[in-house]
Amino acid sequence: MKDLLPRTITAIVAIAIVVSALALGWAWQSIWPVAFLGAFVVGVASWEYVQLLERNGIVLNRLFFVSSAVLVMLAYGTPEAAFGDLVLWAALVFPIALYLFDSDALRKILATMGGIIYIPYLLHFFYPLYRAADGALYGLLALVLVWGYDIGAYLAGSALGKNLLAPMISPRKSWEGVAGGFVLALALAAIAPIWKDWWASTPHMIALAGITSALTQLGDLLESRLKRLAQVKDAGGLMPGHGGLLDRIDGLLLAIPAIYFYFRFVLKWV
């Protein structure tokens, strides 16, 4: 755990920025502090995604991909959800015209479409969660569950990890880390309903912790697979001790939609 200090400092700064955006949005009754932060995160993560593809021999138009991803994220921040769908549709269709006559057309078109779905579209589900009556708290809870799993998995895996989870994908991830991440996410979920309705909400929060843990780990493995194919340790270097922004949101990308759907269709809180 030699990188624990820079990792901790970076995490504190990142958490402060995210919580500030959530608080400003709540105070101003506006989605835009969160939307602009989301657009920045998507822009950097998309840049890192394109770099990973380039190392795999798939060279995309970097400006088009990054700008499309950012526009999709911003469009979903508007009050009209259909506008986000329109921009998403354009971002998925335009690559066909852009790459159709390219010698590597199929891979470039699919990589662009897949990346647009993978990064901005999946992450945008944070917006409807945040727009709910208690949305700032719901959004914070979602982030705490994902962060809690990541922290627990890192600490338990570093201290106790012996049984590798998926050695062909990642040489460091272990079953002990999975257990540690789940335990911490579970503990955080169990105390979260204090501000809502303890007895009615706790079983749901525990179920949500399990779903979040599984999807966070799956998202982490997916990005690890991309990095393994690209033969790099990290997607970027923006966050000392953590790697790139894509390294930090990989689990969030799969977990956030599930959290939103659970809140909407099971808890009916949004």
Residue 267, pLDDT score? 86
Q: DSSP 3-state assignment of 243?
A: strand
pLDDT at 198 over 60: no
Q: Does some domain include residue 92?
A: yes
Is 38 in the same domain as 96? yes
Q: DSSP 3-state assignment of 101?
A: coil
pTM of the model: 0.92
Is 96 in the same domain as 145? no
Is 89 in the same domain as 117? yes
Is 140 in the same domain as 270? yes
Is 148 in the same domain as 266? yes
- Count of domains forming the chain: 2
Is 120 in the same domain as 159? no
Measure Cα distances from 38 to 13, 21, 22, 86 in Å. Answer: 16, 10, 11, 19
User: 118-157, pLDDT tens digit by residue?
Assistant: 999 999 999 999 998 888 889 999 999 999 999 999 999 9
The rounded distance, in Å, linking the Cα atoms of 43 and 235 is 13
Asked if 163 and 179 count as a contact pair (C-beta separation under 8 A), the reply is no
Is 180 in the same domain as 250? yes
Residue 97, pLDDT score? 94
Is 166 in the same domain as 97? no
Is 138 in the same domain as 111? no
Is 145 in the same domain as 265? yes
Is 165 in the same domain as 185? yes
Residue 97 domain boundaries: 31-124
Domain edge (last residue) among 101, 124, 147: 124
CA 31 to chain centre: 18
Domain edge (last residue) among 63, 97, 124: 124
pLDDT at 74 over 90: yes
Is 119 in the same domain as 184? no
